Copies of this chain bind each other. A is one copy, B any other.
Amino acid sequence: MTGDDSLKDVQNVGVDSGSDPAPAADEGGAGGRSGRRSRGSAGRRAQRGGAGPGTSMPYIKRKLKSYEVLDEEGLELIEANADTILEEIGIEFRDDSEIISLWKEAGADVRGERVHFPKGLCRQLLATAPETFTQHARNPARSVQIGGDATVFAPVYGPPFVRDLTGVRRYATLEDFRNFVKLAYMAPAMHHSGGTVCEPVDIPVNKRHLDMVYSHMRYTDKPFMGSVTAPERAEDTVEMCRILFGSDFVDQNCVVINLINANSPMVFDETMLGALKVYARANQAAIVSPFILAGAMSPVTVAGTLTQVLAEVLAGAAVTQLVRPGAPVIFGTFAASISMQSGAPTFGTPEPSLVSYGAAQLARRLKLPFRTGGALCGSKVPDAQAAHETATTLNTTLMAGTNFALHAAGWLEGGLVASYEKFMIDCDQLGMLQRFSEGVDLSESGQALDAIREVGPGSHYLGCAHTQANFQTAFYRSALTDNNSYEQWLADGEKRIEDRARQQCQEWLDAYVAPDLDPSIDEALLAFMDAKKAAMPDAFS
């Protein structure tokens, strides 16, 4: 760590876990992070423009309360049942003797790989996990609060396919990956760069994590996620973070968030546990997330699913505190159902919404940040099915009080496909949700009593002084929806929203300008990657 000015700026934003960086509109990356490795390039990035076509929006600080579907009695019932699962049935931690030993030391009843938990043990361990923390971005103006009244939107995670701008569905490439990073950088209401925005299938499977992490470091200055597909890839992620942020800074601050899925029901596997340990040791955040298709990985009921989710999160999240007390950890839920006729996953239906609302309540009672939802849908194309499923899930995501919303844009076809068109449509909707979350302005201007007096019965407000003073910011403006007359719409070529989204997407990609990165850091990152890649043969499975 060096003492240069840029770093002081960073520290003022809030270095400590649990601190609260004030959300602020994009200020051009002033302060930067380029001096972190004491190469004296602080401020070189200052004066760069915003994140793209619009003014960047900070993460959401919700002014509205969260919606609740369970009362105290229901919550206590589910918590008691989860305790019963933990004590009586137990959770399996497979192929990881270190974690088994940690559980024994902590006082759990371990039988082979099955761990049974005395009542209250997991909750007690989780008392050291922060209720809110800051994930730092290399541009301090982009740092985000995770937890409390904050909501952070991140792009789709994991699709092996894309639907590209020519409408073709094909395997994703590194170029697609970079494109989605660029689009997320430019989208005003996208607060995070995400992780595996799509799988760059053209890069060897044992090396692509390097290109992914590098892309998040190079082509955006928003916060991002790390690799979890093997412990050594998690180590590489942490190492690259140390190059970007400085080793001491990384040890004391969260700079990367990582998605650790449970193998529901009630199993954590070697791969996920390996990555979880690497990140917890490095003081980086894990989202411990049961991946639930209700009816297959959990009971066919909402309450049963919530019970199992809570038990899995309690056990999995507590591991982070066994490894390093105080390490940030997020209560995650991926909620979908399956069609009981075909077995196919379904999204945007009533039951997953109820699961998300309920799980958010359980997480708040645990004093852990919460992740669920996103722009989930099962449709193959960005049609009205996709939009209905997405809108219902996104509305639920926000109104549940979700803190970290993965998959908030671009998700199509049950997550198999990252869609350029849908990414743009979803981002527009995220802007609306962000505006909604600001609630009702009750200031004197908000009350507008003078406007009502001025206009009076039978007139209109179009020209009145209050409207003139406020019209530019009064209503959320969508660049994608068409509200013109039918005749104008005909004259414009009878476009559907995906046509407008495709056009906007191409315009954004054409207009993209990368945020500055200290060349010495860039060189160090590239050198690290080259060395890593050279040290192992390509693997494609």
Given contacts A267-B458, A416-B486, A449-B304, contact A69 B74 (CB under 8 A): no
Chain A contacts with B in 478-522, Cβ cutoff 8 A: 478, 480-486, 489, 494, 496-498
- Is A205's beta carbon under 8 Å from chain B? no
Residues B69 and A461 in contact, CB atoms below 8 Å apart: no
**Interface check A391, CB cutoff 8 A:** yes
Are A461 and B429 in contact, CB atoms less than 8 angstroms apart? no
Q: Which residue of B lies closest to A294 (CB)?
A: B475
Q: Mark A44-71, 1 if CB is under 8 A from B, else 0.
A: 0000000000000000000011011110
A380 interfacial contact with B, CB 8 Å: yes
* A435 proximity list for chain B (CB < 8 A): 349-351
* A380: B residues at CB distance < 8 A: 482, 486, 489, 494
- Chain A residue total in the interface (Cβ 8 A): 123
Contact B387 A460 (CB under 8 A): no
The smallest beta-carbon distance between A318 and chain B, in angstroms, is 16
Which single residue of chain B is at the shortest CB-CB distance from A489? B380
**Other-chain contact of A340, B114, B349, B384, B474 (Cβ < 8 Å):** B474
Question: Which of A86-94, A212-220, A227-235, A327-335 sits within the interface?
Answer: A86-94
Interface residue A43 (Cβ < 8 Å from any Cβ of B) = no
Asked if residues A413 and B85 are in contact (CB atoms below 8 Å), the reply is: no
Chain B residue contacts of A459, Cβ below 8 A: 265
Interchain CB contact under 8 A, A472 and B340:
yes
Closest-CB distance, A488 to chain B (whole angstroms): 9
Residues of B within 8 A of A344 (CB): 483-485
Say yes or no: A295 contacts B388, CB within 8 Å: no
**A308 in contact (CB, < 8 A):** yes
Check: A181 CB closer than 8 A to any chain B CB: no
Q: Assess the A498–B301 pair: CB atoms within 8 A.
A: no
> Do the beta carbons of B452 and A89 come within 8 Å of each other?
yes
With A and B bound together, what is the CA distance between A483 and B471 in angstroms?
A: 43
Partner among B350, B448, B489 whose Cβ is within 8 Å of the Cβ of A300: B448
Q: Are A303 and B349 in contact (CB under 8 A)?
A: no
Q: Tell me if A271 is interfacial: C-beta within 8 Å of chain B.
A: no
Chain B residues with CB under 8 A of A17: none
A266 at interface, CB cutoff 8 A: yes
Contact in complex: A350, B303 (CB < 8 Å): no
Which of A18-26, A246-254, A439-447 participates in binding chain B?
A: A439-447
The answer, among B89, B384, B449, for a CB contact under 8 Å with A498, is B384
Beta-carbon contact of A480 and B299 below 8 Å: no
Q: Are B497 and A67 in contact (CB under 8 A)?
A: no
A482 to chain B, nearest CB (A): 7
Whole-angstrom distance between the alpha carbons of A144 and B503 in the complex? 47
> Is the CB–CB distance between B295 and A475 below 8 Å?
yes
Contacts of A436 in B (CB 8 A): 350, 353-354
- Report the separation of the CA atoms of residues A395 and B357 in the bound assembly, to the nearest whole angstrom: 14
Tell me the A444-466 residues at the B interface (CB within 8 Å).
445-449, 451-453, 455-462, 466
A245 CB to nearest B CB, Å: 36
B265 touches A383 (CB 8 A): no
Q: Is A110 an interface residue (CB 8 A)?
A: no
A416 to B489, CA, bound (A): 14
Contact (Cβ within 8 A) A452 B295: no
Find chain B residues with CB under 8 A from A298 CB. Answer: 461
Interface status of A38 (Cβ within 8 A of chain B):
no
Residue in B358, B388, B474, B484 whose beta carbon sits within 8 Å of that of A387 in the complex: B388
A302 to B448, CA, bound (A): 9
Is A97 engaged at the interface, CB distance under 8 Å to the other chain?
no
In the complex, A284 has a CB within 8 A of chain B: no
Q: Are A441 and B302 in contact (CB under 8 A)?
A: yes
Q: Which residues of chain B are near A203, meaning CB under 8 Å? A: none
Contact assessment for A350 and B295 in the assembled complex, using a CB-CB cutoff below 8 Å: no
Contacts of A485 in B (CB 8 A): 344
Residue among B350, B452, B494 making CB contact with A476, cutoff 8 Å: B350
Q: Are B452 and A308 in contact (CB under 8 A)?
A: yes
Contact B440 A358 (CB under 8 A): yes
CA distance A413 to B385 in the complex (A): 18
Known: A340-B475, A457-B92. A448 touches B497 (CB 8 A): no
Is A196 interfacial (CB-CB < 8 Å)?
Answer: no
Minimal Cβ-Cβ distance residue in B for A499: B383
Best-buried of A67, A92, A414, A433 by chain B (most CB within 10 Å): A67
Residues of B within 8 A of A466 (CB): 299-300, 304
Q: CA of A435 to CA of B343 in the docked complex: distance in angstroms?
A: 20
- Cα separation A541 to B295 with both chains bound (whole Å): 58
A99 at the interface (CB under 8 A from B): no
- A346 CA / B384 CA spacing, docked (Å): 18
Residue A379 lies at the interface, judged by CB distance under 8 Å to chain B:
yes
A344 to chain B, nearest CB (A): 4
Report Cα–Cα, A505/B307, bound state, in Å: 40
Instruction: Report if A457-B413 is in contact (Cβ < 8 Å); known contacts: A354-B440, A447-B301, A475-B295.
Output: no
CB-based contact A299/B497 at 8 Å: no
Closest to A351 in B: B475
Are A114's CB and B385's CB within 8 A? no
Closest 5 CB pairs of A and B: A304-B448, A387-B387, A391-B391, A299-B448, A266-B457
